[in-house]
């Protein structure tokens, strides 16, 4: 979905690649052409072309042509798929499953595709992916690419490898992670939401040789997508608050629907599920309150650097257990006919994102000394079911 809309707003001369894994090639019949097209299934269907394809293999230290060729049965050496571009990626949009993000980043780093001038937009579910990637690969801030965190509420799916369904329009909120060395201060004004319009106000794009040119370019593209995808740039602390609410919602809905093999809306009529939701929200609220108390000094410093008078309240206020519960039930009602992504993973015998949902909440609770028995029990039951489905 994101790629289909991006192709409409960026220059036709700009390369836009879809990165896939070798095993997917056995399921896809690629046209023998330099590029492919995506089709948006609507009335009438609309097709947009100009996408390149790159093959990513986490087992490889680089993208050697011979290895890629072995992965594509019947492909000739002069086929475009066997010659992916080897330069540094300027803007990387990661829309993988949470557990696949770090292995994918590892492969790209070993293939010399990531540099400090790269901008990485993390659009994975759950929380903890950014911290995992930084701790694993970029402990030195000088070698770290720029990161943009995003959360998406659009409903989209694939009906085929090239057929996209944008079922429900939502929003896409994003925030730039501050550079730990403060090198982005000169672009701060360009990347800060306008306090009067809540929209970005971009300065002229810096030179392509500037280390933050890709960050400016990436945020500019996201801003241009606003009429199509309701994109909105906001301060990092506001996005974090949004991510927390989504995390707690997914900690309840995803594993419960996966264990009960039901639609999201079915939880609203299940007393056992409602009890578990209430308990998890109570535990999560205590974790958030403890975290808020310990982070108060840092939050005040952040608020003082923000020009908007409401920023202090936005930083210091934490949702109550009742508010968290109401949000979970609201989302369940809004998506009543949907099957959660975790249930779909269980049905397909695939690994789930439990460690980046309930597992992340457990790690936060341990950090702040809060017991979360309801959350931990639900996560463990899901892990057991996941192991059974993987074995089968």
What crossing angle do the helices spanning 236-260 and 358-367 adopt, rounded to 10°? Answer: 120
Q: Look at residues 124, 179, 113 and name the one whose alpha carbon lies nearest to residue 146.
A: 179
Residue 49 and residue 321: Cα distance in Å, rounded?
47
| Tens-place pLDDT, residues 119-142 | 999 999 999 999 999 999 999 999
Cα within 13 Å of Cα(126), Cβ side = 30
Token look-up 């029990």 returns 377
Which has the closest alpha carbon to 172: 11, 341, 353, 2?
Answer: 2
- To the question of pTM greater than 0.85 for the whole model, the response is no
- The predicted pLDDT at position 192 comes to 54
Lowest mean pLDDT among 113-117, 178-182, 208-212: 208-212
Take residue 144 and report the two structure tokens written for it: 């770290």
Closest CA to 98 of 321, 350, 335, 288: 350
pLDDT at 286 over 50: yes
CB count within 10 Å of CB 71 equals 18
Taking 80 as the threshold, does the pLDDT of residue 28 lie above it?
no
Q: What is the mean pLDDT of residues 6-35?
A: 71
Whether the pLDDT of residue 229 is over 60: the answer is: yes
SS3 content of the chain, % helix, strand, coil (to 5): 50, 15, 35
CA–CA gap between residue 82 and residue 310 (Å, rounded): 53
**pLDDT of amino acid 31:** 54
Question: Residue 326's pLDDT is what?
Answer: 97
């Amino acid at each position: 979905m994101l790629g289909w809309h991006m192709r409409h707003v960026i220059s036709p001369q700009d390369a836009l690649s879809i990165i896939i894994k070798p095993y997917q090639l056995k399921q896809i019949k690629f046209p023998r052409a330099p590029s492919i097209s995506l089709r948006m299934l609507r009335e009438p269907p609309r097709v947009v072309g100009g996408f390149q394809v790159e093959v990513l293999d986490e087992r490889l230290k680089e993208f050697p042509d011979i290895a890629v060729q072995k992965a594509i049965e019947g492909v000739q050496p002069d086929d475009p798929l066997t010659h992916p571009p080897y330069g540094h990626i300027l803007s990387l949009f990661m829309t993988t499953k949470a557990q696949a993000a770090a292995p994918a980043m590892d492969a790209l780093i070993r293939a010399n595709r990531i540099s400090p001038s790269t901008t990485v937009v993390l659009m994975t579910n759950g929380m903890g992916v950014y911290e995992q990637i930084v701790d694993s690969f970029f402990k030195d801030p000088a070698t770290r690419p720029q990161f943009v965190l995003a959360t998406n509420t659009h409903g989209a799916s694939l009906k085929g490898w090239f057929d996209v369904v944008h079922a429900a329009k939502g929003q896409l909120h994003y925030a730039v992670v501050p550079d730990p060395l403060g090198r982005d201060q000169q672009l701060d004004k360009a990347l800060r939401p306008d306090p009067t319009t809540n929209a970005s106000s971009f300065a002229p794009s810096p030179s392509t040789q500037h280390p933050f040119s890709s960050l400016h370019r990436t945020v500019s593209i996201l801003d241009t997508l606003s009429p199509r995808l309701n994109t909105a740039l906001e301060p990092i602390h506001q996005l974090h608050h949004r991510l927390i609410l989504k995390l707690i919602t997914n900690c309840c809905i995803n594993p419960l629907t996966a264990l009960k093999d039901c639609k999201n809306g079915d939880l609203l009529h299940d007393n056992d599920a409602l009890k578990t939701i209430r308990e998890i929200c109570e535990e999560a609220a205590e974790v958030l309150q403890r975290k808020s108390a310990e982070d108060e000094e840092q939050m005040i410093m952040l608020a003082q650097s923000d020009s908007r008078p409401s920023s202090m309240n936005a930083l210091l206020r934490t949702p109550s257990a009742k508010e968290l519960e109401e949000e979970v039930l609201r989302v369940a009602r809004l998506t009543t006919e949907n099957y959660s992504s975790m249930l779909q993973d269980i049905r397909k015998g695939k690994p789930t994102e439990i460690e980046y949902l309930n597992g992340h909440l457990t790690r936060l609770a341990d950090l702040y000394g809060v017991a979360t028995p309801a959350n931990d029990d639900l996560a463990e039951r899901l892990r057991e079911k996941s192991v059974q489905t993987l074995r089968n």
